[in-house]
A and B are shown apart, each in its own frame.
Chain A
Amino acid sequence: MKLKALDYFDFNLSRCSFCGLCSEVCPTKPIKALVMSEDYELGTYSRDAQILRIDDMYDGLPITQYTR
């Protein structure tokens, strides 16, 4: 069975303008993969720490595999 996996998805907090367009057009169904959160305490000591990887943004919900 062919399967597509997201290899990496980096989210740069210091480049984002938090407009919400990406979560608005996120095509995954029935649950959107990208949602806006209400976290605001995002200060870091270094600029590298502002780049979030997949595991930093994953909220821990179990992933259901949809075939189509």
Chain B
Amino acid sequence: MGVIDHRFADNIITTNLDTVLAWARKNSLWPMGFGLACCAIEMIAAGGPDSTSPGSGPRCSGVARQADLMIVAGTVTKKMAPVLRRLYDQMPEPKWVISMGSCSNAGGPFPTYSVLQGVDKVVPVDVYISGCPPRPEALFYGLMRLQDKISRENTVFRKERWIPAAGPNRLLSRTAADAEGLPALVLPGGSRQGSLGHVEVTRRSRPSRSSTPPSVGPWRRVSGACSGCRSSPTPAPRSALSATSAPRRARTNLISLAVIASRA
């Protein structure tokens, strides 16, 4: 933008198309409240006057064809899952999904035959909000994280999106911006990279659910490492929680709107 900066009148702002479209999309979210259980009460409370002032928050749409964000709030039973998928397919592009609460995240306290263990088995979920149920503030936090995600999306070059829980072969018929390049969320309270400094534990890996559990690894006591916790041992690797090491894709600079306007 440096070349064409300050070359037009003051009421012309140069930007790129990605920024404008993402700005418009993230600030005009029309959620479809998919209330299924007690999380719906909190979702309704989030739209009430205690949490939002009129005109500030998103307004829920009851129609799937007018919505671009689905907030799945509550226990998704296996009988409800195809209905949820059908309503998701009825939503126009671009569309996003927020999974609200433990039940829709992973099944919650119902590991039973009738409850879908995570709504990401049927729809691709953008933001998971934990809580049982989450407070309205937690829902707003998830909405803001979704806005951050939308603002980084590429509007032209889009990749196929697949449901991670269903395997890589389960391609969706839609295309959406991929979730690559997003930084990992920083949990509240800072990084919390603590360490158990007294005993150096040779950590065995987490027992994977698919294979047999690994053998019990030995742990050993480090002599002299216990003097007042100042030895600054190396923390355990946070492999699953660490920030994505994939290089962030450079956003394509599209033709700026001001150039188009100047040619017109």
Residue pair B128, A14 in contact (C-beta under 8 Å)? yes
Asked if A29 is at the interface (CB within 8 A of a chain B CB), the reply is no
Q: Is there contact, CB below 8 Å, between A45 and B179?
A: yes
Q: How many chain A residues have a CB neighbour from B under 8 Å?
A: 40
Instruction: Please measure, in the bound complex, the distance between the C-alpha atom of A23 and the C-alpha atom of B196, giving whole angstroms.
Output: 20
Q: Which of B132, B141, B228 contacts A41 (CB 8 A)?
A: B141
Contact flags (1/0) for B134-155 with A, using CB distance below 8 Å?
A: 1101100110010001000000
Question: Chain B interface secondary structure, helix, strand, loop or mixed?
Answer: loop
B106 touches A47 (CB 8 A): yes
A24 within 8 A of B: no
Cα A26 to Cα B218 with chains together (Å): 25
The reply to whether the CB of B66 lies closer than 8 angstroms to some CB of chain A is no
User: Counting CB contacts under 8 A, is B248 at the interface?
Assistant: no
- Taking CB atoms and an 8 Å cut-off, the chain B residues in 174-211 that contact chain A are 179, 182, 184-185, 187-189, 192-199, 201, 203-204, 206
Contact check: which of A13, A19, A58 meets B195 at CB < 8 Å?
A: A58
Cβ of A46 and Cβ of B229 under 8 Å apart?
no
In the bound complex, CA of A17 to CA of B138 (Å) = 15
A18 touches B132 (CB 8 A): yes
Task: Decide if B149 touches A54 in the complex (CB within 8 Å).
Answer: no
Taking a contact as CB atoms under 8 Å apart, the answer to whether A41 and B238 are in contact is no
A49 adjacent to B199 (CB under 8 Å)? no
Q: B241 at interface (Cβ–Cβ under 8 A)?
A: yes
Distance A16 CA – B103 CA, assembled complex (angstroms): 9
Q: Contacts A15-B102, A47-B106, A49-B185 given: A58-B192 contact, CB under 8 Å?
A: yes
Q: Chain B residues near A44: list those with CB within 8 A.
A: 127-128, 130, 185
- Chain A nearest CB from B47 CB (Å) reads 18
Chain A nearest CB from B242 CB (Å) reads 10
Are A42 and B236 in touch, CB under 8 angstroms? no
Residues of chain B within 8 A of A30, CB atoms compared: none
| In contact, B206 and A8 (Cβ under 8 angstroms) | yes
B129: which A residues are within 8 A, CB to CB? 42-43
Contact with B along A13-55 (1 / 0, CB 8 A): 1111111000000000000000001011111111111111111
Contact of A40 among B134, B164, B179, B201 (CB under 8 A): B134
| Distance, CA A49 to CA B182, complexed state (A) | 13
By the criterion CB–CB under 8 Å, are A55 and B105 in contact? no
| Known A-B contacts A14-B106, A14-B130; A55 and B145 likewise in contact (beta carbons under 8 Å) | no
25 contacts between A and B (CB under 8 A): A5-B196, A13-B105, A15-B105, A16-B132, A40-B135, A40-B138, A42-B188, A43-B145, A43-B185, A44-B128, A44-B130, A45-B149, A45-B185, A46-B128, A46-B179, A49-B185, A49-B240, A50-B106, A50-B128, A50-B130, A51-B241, A56-B187, A58-B196, A63-B198, A65-B226
* A63 vs B225: C-alpha distance when bound (angstroms): 13
Q: Complex: how many Å from CA A54 to CA B237?
A: 11
Tell whether B235 is near chain A: CB-to-CB under 8 Å. yes
Chain B proximity of A22: nearest CB distance (Å) = 13
